[in-house]
């Protein structure tokens, strides 16, 4: 691969997204740092350079065009106001952004008017309040926002919730609808031309996403039932149907979504399919 211009990629250096981000890149065939103190890593062979940055700063670097692409959270991208776009979601680091207060005290978002709200996501919160014309005081805290109510700094908080255990431990509960559904996303600069190496990088990442969400299914079935069976397993392009040595039987091979694959096996069995096998896909280019 040409090495004159490396694709510059921002990766979370710590926090909830960092391990999974490095994992997806490693699965896509890229070298990743072995020491969490490393700040950058050049993978010349694959034409890319990784910069390990705070997830909150990644949208800024990408929005300014200092780096070509980055992995961050949708909530952090939204919060930053940076001129960066979401290219694709990556299926990990899922969370919901919620308002929360002392359990049982608040029930609707109309009650926010006049309250003191503590959050690390002032951008997201102000956008939400402005859109609804709600006036409230927003205080920015760096983290451990849940403690601010007990300490008398805020009446309510707005924060990331995954399992809800941090909220529960602080005696808090969410109220009102979800403000934002977040997950890890790949971002690039809004309106930017595709830099060298971008298409290959995207194909590799998409290859991993597909390999994670699909499995390969093989089965044998009597020829007379194959038309009904392939309706259940249409594959991506079209399933492979090959002749079996046994007269009147064929073998079918098709990619199927991992979710629901067991149910599909039951349905194929009921149609008369036998020798139904599921195998993981390690990598692919569609």
Ligand X SMILES: O=P(O)(O)OC[C@H]1O[C@H](OP(=O)(O)OP(=O)(O)O)[C@H](O)[C@@H]1O
161 binds ligand X (CB under 6 A): yes
Residue 235 binds ligand X (CB under 6 A): no
Report the nearest approach of ligand X to the CB of residue 162 (Å). 3
Minimum distance from residue 20 beta carbon to ligand X (Å):
14
Please tell me whether residue 166 binds ligand X under the rule CB under 6 A: yes
Q: Determine which residue in the list 1, 5, 14, 223 makes contact with ligand ATP, applying CB under 6 A.
A: 14
- Please give the Cα distance from 160 to 182 (Å, whole number): 9
Select from ligand X, ligand ATP, none the partner in contact with residue 242, using the beta carbon and a kind-dependent cut-off of 5 to 8 Å.
none
Asked whether 48 and 10 are in contact (CB, 8 A), the reply is no
Among 28, 48, 62, 76, binds ligand ATP (CB under 6 A): 76
Looking at the Cβ atoms of 82 and 100, the one nearer to ligand X is 100
Give least dist CB 285 to ligand ATP, A. Answer: 29
Can you tell me the distance from the alpha carbon of 29 to that of 32, in angstroms, rounded to the nearest whole number? 9
Q: Is 79 in the site for ligand X (CB under 6 A)?
A: no
Select from 124-132, 139-147, 207-215, 234-242 the region that touches ligand X (CB under 6 A).
139-147
Residue 23: how many CB atoms within 10 A of its CB? 13
- Give Dmax over CA atoms of the chain in angstroms: 79
| Single residue of 17, 149, 172, 229 touching ligand ATP by CB under 6 A | 17
Strands in 274-280's sheet, in edge-to-edge order, are 240-243, 249-257, 214-222, 274-280
DSSP 124-182: HHHHHHHHHT---EEEE-SS-GGGGTTTTS-SEEEEEESSSHHHHHTTEEEEEEEEEEE
> Angle at CA 17, nearest 5°, toward 188 and 205?
50
Please report, as residue ranges, which positions from 107 to 146 form the binding site for ligand ATP (by CB under 6 A): 143
Structure tokens at 274: 């036998």
**Residue 262's binding partner out of ligand ATP, ligand X, none, with CB under 5 to 8 Å set by partner kind:** none
Binding to ligand ATP by residue 159, rule CB under 6 A?
no
Rg of the chain over Cα atoms, rounded to whole angstroms, equals 24
Chain-centroid distance of CA 213 in Å reads 12
Residues 2-61 that bind ligand X (CB under 6 A): 15-16
Q: Match 């949208």 to its residue by tokens.
A: 59
Distance CA 126, CA 38 (A): 35
Residue 56 contact partner, candidates ligand X, ligand ATP, none, CB within 5 to 8 A by sort of partner: ligand ATP
- The binding track of 172-201 with respect to ligand ATP, each residue x by CB under 6 A or -, is ----------x-------------------
143-153: b (≥16 Cβ within 10 Å) or e:
eebbbbbeeee
Which residue lies nearest ligand ATP, judged by its C-beta?
73
What residue ranges bind ligand X (CB under 6 A)?
15-16, 143-146, 159-166
What residue ranges bind ligand ATP (CB under 6 A)?
14-17, 55-56, 73, 75-76, 93, 95, 143, 160, 162, 182
């Amino acid at each position: 691969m040409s090495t004159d211009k490396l694709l510059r990629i921002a990766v979370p250096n710590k926090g909830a997204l960092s391990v999974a981000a490095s994992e997806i890149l490693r699965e896509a065939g890229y070298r990743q740092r072995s020491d969490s103190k490393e700040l950058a890593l050049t993978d010349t062979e694959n034409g890319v350079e990784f910069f390990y940055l705070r997830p909150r700063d990644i949208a800024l670097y990408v929005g300014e065009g200092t780096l070509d692409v980055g992995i961050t959270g949708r909530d952090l991208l939204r919060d930053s106001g940076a001129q960066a776009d979401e290219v694709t979601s990556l299926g990990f680091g899922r969370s919901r952004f919620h308002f929360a207060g002392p359990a049982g005290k608040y029930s609707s978002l109309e009650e926010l008017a006049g309250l003191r709200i503590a959050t690390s996501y002032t951008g997201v919160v102000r956008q939400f309040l402005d859109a609804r014309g709600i006036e409230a005081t927003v205080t920015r805290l760096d983290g451990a926002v849940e403690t601010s109510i007990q300490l008398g700094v805020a009446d309510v908080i707005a924060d990331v919730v995954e399992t809800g255990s941090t909220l529960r431990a602080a005696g808090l509960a969410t109220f009102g609808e979800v403000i934002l559904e977040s997950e890890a996303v790949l971002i690039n600069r809004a309106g930017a031309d595709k830099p060298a190496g971008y298409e290959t990088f995207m194909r590799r990442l998409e290859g991993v996403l597909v390999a994670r969400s699909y499995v390969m299914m093989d089965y044998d079935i009597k020829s007379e039932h194959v038309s009904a069976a392939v309706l259940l397993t249409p594959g991506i392009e079209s399933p492979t149907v090959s002749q079996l040595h046994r007269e009147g039987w064929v073998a079918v091979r098709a990619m199927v979504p991992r979710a629901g694959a067991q149910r599909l096996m039951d349905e194929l069995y009921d149609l008369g399919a036998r020798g139904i096998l599921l195998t993981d896909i390690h990598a692919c280019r569609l």
